[in-house]
Chain A
Amino acid sequence: MVDHVLRLKLALLTSSFRSGPTLNRTIAALALALAVAVAVAIVVLGATVDVANAEHRAGIVIVGAALSVALAITPLTSGLGSAMEPRRFASFPLSPRRLAVSLGAAAAVGVPGVLAILLGVGLESAWSETPTGGAAVVAGVLAAAAIILTSQYLVVVGIQLAVSPAARQLVTAMARAVIAVALAVAVTTVLVVRSGENGDTLVTVAGTLANTPVGMLWAAPGSDLAALLARLLGGAAMLAVLIAGWGFIVTRLLVSPQRERAVHHAAGLGWFDLVPATQAGVIAARSLIYWTRDARYRLVLFALPIAPLLMMLAFAIAGTPVPPLWLLPLPVLALFLGWFAHNDVAYDHTALWVHVAAPLKGAADRWGRVVPPLLIGVPLIVALAPLLALWSGVEGVLPALIGVSVGLLLTGLGVSSVASVVGAYPAPRPDGGPFDQPPTLGVRAGWSQSLALLATVAFMTPALVVAWWGFTEPEWFAIAGIAGVSTGIGMLLLGIIIGGRAFRRRAPELLDLVLRT
């Protein structure tokens, strides 16, 4: 039984290099090249790392944790099409227990499995010939097994989420993004360790990670005896839970029906029942449906939190003290959320004719389109700002944080209301994937994108400068808050008036633009 499943797995592995579209083979080759590079890096680092050095030990923990996350998620990146999912074996007369064992073993075969094992071996080689070498062997084995099993859980979860082609693309895209971030973290860490500076930050980050499931096994060999035992026991317990849970999940999946996208048969009109029956109202409802259902918008919603966090991470690793950095994510998120709408009209593609053929007031079109980002952004800012202000430890910063964030969002939307008319450029088509780009993007796209971003920041500069003064004299924070909100409201109104006029005048030309793409 086990060898049958293993043979199937090997056949699947080789088949990705056999025939098929050149592109697929190229991607498979590139992925393999990346895997080989990671493998070589693990071996080299494992051999050269000096465990007597605290910074090197911290590096092991951070890199180990980052690569664990990346490896666990790797099976999701290949599109789930040929994933070894328990339910695929439901029609065979197999006992769930044997299937669970076979699938677990099969997961160890294949690129992520081999790399996970290699990662464990790397830890062992780093600690070999030290007193805790034996503990390193145990930790490495436990970690590799935990990564492999976790990846199986993620495959199951991914398949549960991927009920439609668009959702499947989204899962794959997100998995790739997470891996990119994790690899970036690993590479940055190695560079920082080699530079020999900012060792304290590394040690702090590693110390935090060491107390989480992703980091505890990597930290175990470098801990004192009590912590070492606790971490190894924790790792063993984690693996035991994973194993028991795996058997349970395989059993459950084999007898539960396939999850399909729920088909809506409600008689209502959804969002349209909740908005006023006005032009701006229905356009807002329609925009909300697109923001929540269209992969192009959803990708942005998922990606939005990543950019600010990455920025924070970069600053933190570069040595900026962490607490004030908590002030960064919200304004950055608000800026990008407002900015994202700068090409909204082109996202309609040729369906824009519905607006052009109707006796539509330009401002109504503009108002409707800014509702989804406002509904997402403003509550998010108001809810998160107190927490982030608290974490930042900066006295009295809350009004400035709220005001500047709201101001950036509203100003961005005002700028976008004009930009999406006068600076529209070809956008991904509604039926394509979120990463598909139109063939003729042109220089116009670059200009639009950068000018919209620059204009938003420029309009908000006064409020931002006042907020900056607040760090020396805290009474400026309140003024910055008022300045931010007023700038935002003013710019949004102005943008909608100007953008509305421009839309009424240029709507046929916009339709012409989308028709040509």
Chain B
Amino acid sequence: MKPAAKSATGPAAKSAAEPAAKPVIPTPPMPVVLKAVALQKKFGAVVAVDDVSLSVRQGSIFGFVGPNGAGKTTTLSMMTGLLRPSAGQVLVGGFDVWREPIEAKKLLGVLPDRMRLFDRLTGAQMLYYSAVLHGVDREKARARIRDLGDVLELDGSLQRPVRDYSIGMVKKISLATALIHAPRVLVLDEPFESVDPVSTSQFVDLLRRFAAGGGTVILSSHNMDLVERLCDEVAIIVAGRILAAGTLDEVRGPTSLEERFVQLAGGHAAVEGLEWLTTFSD
């Protein structure tokens, strides 16, 4: 297997020595559709994301995992044109997201975390709005609203204002909003958060079908099991740097992804510091 996504280059790689050499299975490599080069984001003096480089190949599902505040949302926002990077470059289908935003954004479908929708619109209006903003015509938009409503089981709620939706329903309509213009690359920030198990498995099926048809998915999640089940490739980001990246097997090694993640994120050290917790006050 060829390492589809190169591990982070430059200073970020020093802590994560990934064995690059592996037996190569001769499949023609798919083209890289999303490439981030040395992305950096500073907020004042604080460096939130430093030197993040990634390559995601067409047809893959790429999982982006990291502890809270590691810079997942910041990185994904920079990749989708929502947050201007302090340095670095993002290419989607060969177009620079920050130099040729119109061309690049046509190829992108985005589900950001913790941002509202125009929630006075009904679900159907919201989907139509996003479709037309991405250049879909009226008839196609209507047909796709029906299809997405069926697949995500939204059809009963599409005529209600989005502000009346539950959090899980908002995630569903957000996913549909990201999908409606048939993007080449889907960037989903925490798509499974507060989604019930039935809907999660709907999402998973949908994303697998999307990837099998030549689409590409980048998603962030806290749910390691789900990432292990769904993703072909993963990157672990801690404190703004990518500590490990590659195929799922390369990153997790002989252990599970969760163990590897906790090991890289330094979770054990934190727990060790709390000896007083077991001295029990009685």
Contacts and interface: CB of A to CB of B under 8 A. Distances in A.
Contacts of A359: 101-103, 105-106, 133-135
Given A277-B141, A289-B121, A360-B133, A350 B115 contact: yes
Interface string B107-125: 0101010111111111011
B129 A264 contact: no
Contact of A351 (B116, B128, B160): B116
A512 B41 CA distance: 13
Given A357-B110, A359-B101, A281 B132 contact: yes
Given A351-B115, A508-B83, A361 B132 contact: no
Given A269-B128, A282-B128, A264 B122 contact: yes
A267 B159 contact: yes
Contacts of B137: 277
B112 to A, nearest CB: 5
B55 interface: no
A22 interface: no
B133 A269 contact: no
Nearest to A276: B138
B58 interface: no
Contacts of A504: 101
A176 interface: no
B268 to A, nearest CB: 34
A150 B263 CA distance: 73
A508 B82 contact: yes
A509 interface: yes
Interface string A284-303: 00100110011000000000
Interface string B74-104: 0000001111100000000000000001110
B134 to A, nearest CB: 6
A515 B84 CA distance: 14
B119 A430 contact: yes
Contacts of B200: none
A124 interface: no
B162 to A, nearest CB: 10
A87 interface: no
Contacts of A289: 120-121, 125
- Residue among A263, A281, A349, A508 with the highest chain B CB neighbour number at 10 A: A508
Contacts of B120: 289-290, 293-294, 430
A25 B3 CA distance: 67
A512 B121 CA distance: 23
Contact of B82 (A283, A349, A351, A356): A356
B274 to A, nearest CB: 34
In the A-B complex, list the 3 residue pairs whose CB atoms are closest, starting with the nearest.
Answer: A358-B133, A277-B138, A350-B115
Interface of A: 263-267, 269-270, 272, 277-279, 281-283, 286, 289-290, 293-294, 348-351, 353-361, 430-431, 504, 508-509, 511-512, 515
Given A348-B118, A358-B133, A359-B103, 19 more contacts: A263-B160, A266-B159, A269-B122, A270-B122, A272-B125, A272-B128, A277-B141, A281-B132, A351-B115, A353-B110, A353-B115, A354-B118, A354-B177, A356-B82, A357-B82, A358-B130, A508-B82, A511-B83, A512-B83
30 contacts: A266-B159, A269-B124, A272-B128, A272-B129, A277-B132, A277-B137, A281-B132, A282-B128, A282-B132, A283-B133, A289-B120, A289-B121, A289-B125, A290-B120, A293-B120, A351-B117, A353-B82, A354-B117, A355-B133, A356-B81, A357-B105, A358-B105, A359-B102, A359-B103, A360-B105, A361-B102, A430-B116, A430-B119, A508-B83, A509-B84
